[in-house]
Amino acid sequence: MDASVAPLFRHVEEPTAAAVARPSREDAEAAVRTLIAWAGDDPGREGLIDTPKRVVRAYEELFGGYREDAAAFLERTFSETGGYDDMVLVRDISFHSHCEHHMVPFFGRAHVAYVPIDRVVGLSKIARIVDAFARRLQTQEHLTAQIVSTLDEVLKPRGVAVLIEAEHMCMTMRGVQKAGASTMTTQFTGVFRDDPAEQARFMTLLRQGRG
């Protein structure tokens, strides 16, 4: 999209665990060895001796969202929209996250819509916002709210709608062990919250083409 570009204000995210002194890589690897031993295996055996290093490297990727400012993805917007002022919907954004209660994965799809006022944002940036928040210890409810509040506060559109559907391994692998159970969360602002017709249109667009 060829368009003029305008910076937006820098969003300040809510406080995170960054206030706590971050352990060293050696400390993290030692913690993994402790967990292996606690589980009942020998962290010194051949198959596990390099596992602590691998786990720490994996955690750097899986929890990389702590090192990203999600709102920074919205710092540039585009004004050449040809007068477009209707819903922008990006659906089926795949994501994976980790439950903050058990530190096991949950994964699914996020559907994000907003109604712009004069300016739009690059579509890939919406997916990047989802990933930035998903790659942290999360609850699905909090993840939904963070995506909505970031888009609402930075873009200041006429409204934001987010629906997330996910499967939680803390329900599949442990506890009630109900494989295939899914959880759906939604949050709406602006026209999506105040106008039932707009909310219904959002839901209808999500269902279209799904057979």
In tens digits, the chain (211 residues) has pLDDT values of 344 444 443 444 554 545 678 899 999 999 999 999 999 999 999 999 999 999 999 999 999 999 999 999 999 999 888 888 899 999 999 999 999 999 999 999 999 999 999 889 999 999 999 999 999 999 999 999 999 999 999 999 999 999 999 999 888 877 877 888 899 999 999 999 999 999 999 999 999 866 5
As annotated, the binding site includes 99, 102, 170
Say which DSSP state 83 is in: T
Instruction: Identify which of 78, 138, 72 has the alpha carbon closest to the alpha carbon of residue 102.
Output: 138
Which residues pair with residue 184 across a beta bridge? 165
Binding residues for Zn(2+): 99, 102, 170
Domain boundaries for CATH 1.10.286.10 within the chain: 20-62
Catalytic residue IDs: 99-102, 140, 168, 170
Kindly write down the DSSP assignment for every residue of 115-126, as one continuous string: E-SS-B--HHHH
Q: Which residues contact 83 (CB under 8 A, 6 or more apart)?
A: none
Say yes or no: domain 70-207 is CATH 3.40.50.10800: no
CATH of 20-62, one of 1.10.1240.10, 1.10.286.10, 3.40.50.9100, 3.20.10.10: 1.10.286.10
Q: Is the pTM of this model over 0.85?
A: yes
Q: Where in the chain is the domain with CATH 3.30.1130.10?
A: 70-207
Nearest of 112, 169, 119 to residue 143 by alpha carbon: 112
